[in-house]
Amino acid sequence: MQYNNLLDNKTILITGGTGSFGKCFTKYVLKNYNPKKIIIYSRDEFKQFIMQNDMKEYADKLRFFIGDVRDKERLARALNGVDYVIHAAALKQVPACEYNPNEAIKTNIHGAMNVIDACLDSGSVKKVVALSTDKAVNPVNLYGGTKLVSDKLFVAANAYSGTCDINFSVVRYGNVAGSRGSVIPFFKNIIDKGGRELPITDYRMTRFWISLTQGVELVIKALAEANGGETFISKIPSFKITDLAQAMLPGCEMPEVGIREGEKLHEIMVTVEDSLTTYEYEKHFIVYPQMVWNDKQQIIPGGKKVEEGFSYSSGNNTWWLTIPEIQELLKDVDLEA
């Protein structure tokens, strides 16, 4: 999926651009398009230094901008002449957010407000896509709560676009396969140390399988198709955590150790309440906003409204990975450093 010429001669800014998504998105765009410029906006100069060295061949297309989403003036400066914005910056670690709630609120909520205001005032930004998470759906921890508020802010931002040619949308997915703090690197670490047991928090636990590239392609779909206010959700397979354990270490013991604080049995993407405004497409769902603020908001053609009471989670999915399929997918998993 490329959407020919979509990003050609465009200037794109990625908040949190040195993270795993930002690096993958940057490489994907540089490989498949001919952007005018990609601006990496983040607060860690060392990560920028590493990314700059890793992508020396694209030096003429990349700009590295030290800044924090908490700083609206700095954002405004960075957005000069930018066409598209991908908002990936966030505090994501659940325990860290629980222990530092004020900091999570400053980055995930106040930062979202700053991005929205700076984009609305820029005069150049046409499309903004914010990255969300399954944890924002019926949140049970502070991280999820802040991302729920962030999602609502980006959807409602379309009410303030006025005559500006700009729209805001959201993409939602769960833990990326191999991402830091997720189960695959946790199991791999045990196996690498010679362990023969892989602990399972709850035998009923399920998750969706999505790769970084699939996450990037969902964002590009949103850039291409969004009219404003949509939440895009990919159709992806589910797997059982017990099957993942057996795929990684066949025949291993799997002691059940109990669910962790702030953890869910299943990743939920579409709730029963969302079903009232959710449409199903060939490869994705879109949750449309319940309120309509302007005539730019329209249902994207090709979809069918889901039945009232529909929900979509890793537990009620109809597409499941087998152990051999998981083993095959694991070959392409790039564990984050």
Asked if 217 and 3 touch (Cβ cutoff 8 Å), the reply is no
Exposure of 318 by Cβ count < 10 A (0-12 exposed, 13-18 middle, 19+ buried)? exposed
Q: Catalytic residue among 23, 127, 135, 240, which?
A: 135
CA distance 125 to 115: 11
- Closest among 10, 192, 197, 160 to 85, alpha carbons compared: 10
CA distance 213 to 63: 22
Retrieve residue 55's tokens.
Answer: 């992508």
Retrieve residue 75's tokens.
Answer: 């954002």
Q: Is the dihedral of CA 241, 244, 248, 252 positive or negative?
A: positive
Longest dimension (CA), the chain: 62
Distance set, CA 208 to CA 45, 234, 318 (Å): 33, 10, 12
DSSP state of 110: I
Neighbours of 242 (CB within 10 A): 18
Asked if 88 and 128 touch (Cβ cutoff 8 Å), the reply is no
- Closest among 266, 301, 286, 279 to 175, alpha carbons compared: 266
Query: What is residue 201's three-state secondary structure?
Result: coil
Neighbours of 251 (CB within 10 A): 6
Known catalytic membership, residue 135: yes
- 139, amino acid identity: P
Q: Strand runs (DSSP E) across 198-330, as ranges?
A: 206-208, 231-234, 238-240, 268-270, 278-280, 284-287, 304-305, 312-313
CA distance 104 to 248: 34
CA distance 297 to 229: 7
For the annotated catalytic residues, the residue numbers are 135
